[in-house]
Amino acid sequence: MGEALRACRLRTLAMPPARAVMEGVDRAAVQEVIFGPPRALSDPASKAALDPYWLPMPIEELCTSPSRAASEAARLGFPVRISLASPDLRLWDHPDLAVDGVDNAARVRDVYRQIMAMASERQPDARLLGVHVTATTTSQAMLRVVAEPLPDGLVLAEIGFADPHGRASDDRTVTVLPASVDAIERVLGRLAGAPLVLGGGAAARRAAVHAICDTLLRLAAFVDEHRAEVERVELNPIALLLDGATEVREACVTVGDAFLRTLESPRPLGEM
């Protein structure tokens, strides 16, 4: 609560929209994914829930066998990234369960088997969905964003760096969404590692801030419109690419107890 109050005090004087709204969203598709008991959704399920809000996602395929992984890697083009897909073993906690720069089909099959074996040994009861085969992109910075609903259509966002140095130094700040582009630039400027995002020429700086702001507003719209079901969303990392675009590489949507409360609420006599 203290961070929420601090974020509200630091909110920009410029007047952003009252709440983040995305037109043309297939909300029924979102509900199909998030409907159910309290749980943390897997990365594939979280991305499926966020996708109708057009958050920027990597080009990737979920593969459940070594041969399928090799086939998809060849289709996407080498080199690729191979990473575990599991709701129980998150990559931000287990970075060794992802391998970058895999450059041929035989290596893809080997990496698939190695990752699955390591995951099974690390947590025998973990739910292993397979691996993601992801097209290679190059980042200039890696951000972590955690969003939670606040009253009155607002969303609290904690923003920090997802790289090891940023995590070790606890380089993070908070803000309230929605916010203007200028406000987001000021928020990013509070981070010790701000030059990683705001460095370069004016055009590159503006492109990066616009891309990050667009991603945050889409995230805020998702959290606000599904606040009855969604308790928390973590995007970790959001990669800021060399061309200034963003890419949500890993996501986790945490669903609350709205479904259980619906089951427990008394039904009108006419529906019994």
Instruction: Write down the residue that tokens 């995007």 correspond to.
Output: 235
Whole-model pTM: value is 0.89
Task: Quote the CA–CA distance of 161 and 53 in Å, as a whole number.
Answer: 23
Same domain, 101 and 212: no
**pLDDT for 3:** 56
Same domain, 121 and 167: no
Same domain, 119 and 181: no
Task: Quote the CA–CA distance of 157 and 173 in Å, as a whole number.
Answer: 8
Helix (H) or strand (E) holding 252: strand 251-255
Same domain, 44 and 78: no
Same domain, 160 and 252: yes
Q: Which domain holds residue 186?
A: 2-13+20-56+138-258
Domain end marker among 135, 170, 202: 135
Q: What is the pLDDT of residues 28-66, one digit of tens each?
A: 999 999 999 999 999 999 999 999 999 999 999 999 999
Q: Which residues contact 97 (CB under 8 A, 6 or more apart)?
A: 83, 84, 89, 91, 115, 118, 119
Q: What is the pLDDT of residues 98-154, one digit of tens each?
A: 999 999 999 999 999 999 999 999 999 999 999 999 999 999 999 999 999 999 999
Query: How many domains does the chain divide into?
Result: 2
Residue 244 lies in a domain: yes
Same domain, 120 and 51: no
Same domain, 146 and 220: yes
Same domain, 41 and 126: no
Q: What is the CATH number of the domain that holds 113?
A: 3.30.1490.20
Same domain, 123 and 238: no
**pLDDT for 265:** 55
**pLDDT for 13:** 42
Domain end marker among 135, 158, 187: 135
For β-strands 139-149 and 80-85, DSSP reports them as unpaired
Q: Which residues contact 114 (CB under 8 A, 6 or more apart)?
A: none
Residue 154 lies in a domain: yes
